[in-house]
Amino acid sequence: MKRRISLAGTEAEVELLREGEAWTARVGETSLRVERIGEREGELCLRINGRQLQLQWAPDEGGAWICQGGRSYRVEAARKTGPRRRELAGPGEGALRSPMPALVVAIEVAEGEEVEGGRTLIVLEAMKMETKVAAPAGSWKLRRLLVAAGQQIARDQELLELEPRGPSELRLAERRPIGPEGDD
Q: Which parts of the chain sit beneath pLDDT 50?
A: 81-92, 167-184
Give the per-residue pLDDT at 107. Answer: 95
Q: Domain 83-184 carries which CATH code?
A: 2.40.50.100
Cis previous bond, 91, omega within 30: yes
pTM over 0.75: no
CA angle 4, 46, 132 (to 5 degrees): 55
Topology at the third CATH level for domain 2-77: Glycoprotein, Type 4 Pilin (3.30.700)
Q: What is the pLDDT of residues 98-134, one digit of tens each?
A: 888 899 999 999 999 999 888 999 999 988 888 888 8
User: Domain ranges in the chain?
Assistant: 2-77, 83-184
- Pairwise CA distance, residues 1 & 16, whole Å: 5
